[in-house]
Amino acid sequence: MEAAAVPRSVAACRPAPALPAARALALPRRALAVSIAAASTRRLHLTARRAADGEGADTAPEAVPIEKRFPPFPSVMDINQIREILPHRFPFLLVDRVIEYKAGEYAVGIKNVTINDNFFPGHFPERPIMPGVLMVEAMAQVGGLVMLQPEVGGSRDNFFFAGIDKVRFRKPVIAGDTLIMRMTLTKYQKRFGLAKMEGKAYVGGDLVCEGEFLLVSATE
């Protein structure tokens, strides 16, 4: 007796063949990606809430407003202390603050360059640039703060800028910049009151001026 033919309806009920391995894994991966994205979004929202509450600033600096990201300059000498040391006065006092100082070795001072400085109307009306000679003068005044300290024995009444050498201007300094000047004592002849100093001035991390300075502080 011949076997009965299998009806087409029975064949249609057979289980479908298994999916290829790559296709079978694709669905869980998509689900995992969606889950990771959702978790990342939750973390971002949580970080934003913490930043708004003043928390988590160390882990999310980009969430801190820009006006809160930069610490103020330290103040080793304020303008009143500087005025007690230097004989210069308006419009030629060109150091606003000393932010670091080591007696008989070096000083770091700052000059806030503002459009209200009296030299800008003439240098230049259409492009306000700080004159190079005034940058050198400001650096010499920072050097004077090193020399005119009691530890060095300088005389405020007999203080002179005696010479400059190898001065180079690297970049222009414009209104709105903060000029940071480091003056380092490299040689001092106390008998003659002669001091040789190395000076470097920066705006941010950019070197804008450098040179060698000779200062004289003579006693009466």
Residues that are catalytic: 123
CA dist., res. 38 & res. 30, Å (int): 12
How do strand 159-169 and strand 206-217 relate by DSSP bridges?
Answer: antiparallel
At residue 6, what is the residue type? V
Q: Which residues contact 182 (CB under 8 A, 6 or more apart)?
A: 106, 107, 108, 142, 199, 200, 201, 202
What does the DSSP assignment read for 89-122?
-TTS----EEEEEETTTEEEEEEE--TTSTTTTT
Burial string for 111-148 (b: 16+ CB within 10 Å, else e) reads: bebeeebeebeeeeeeebebebebbbebbbbbbbbbbb
Rounded to whole angstroms, the Cα distance separating 31 from 24 reads 12
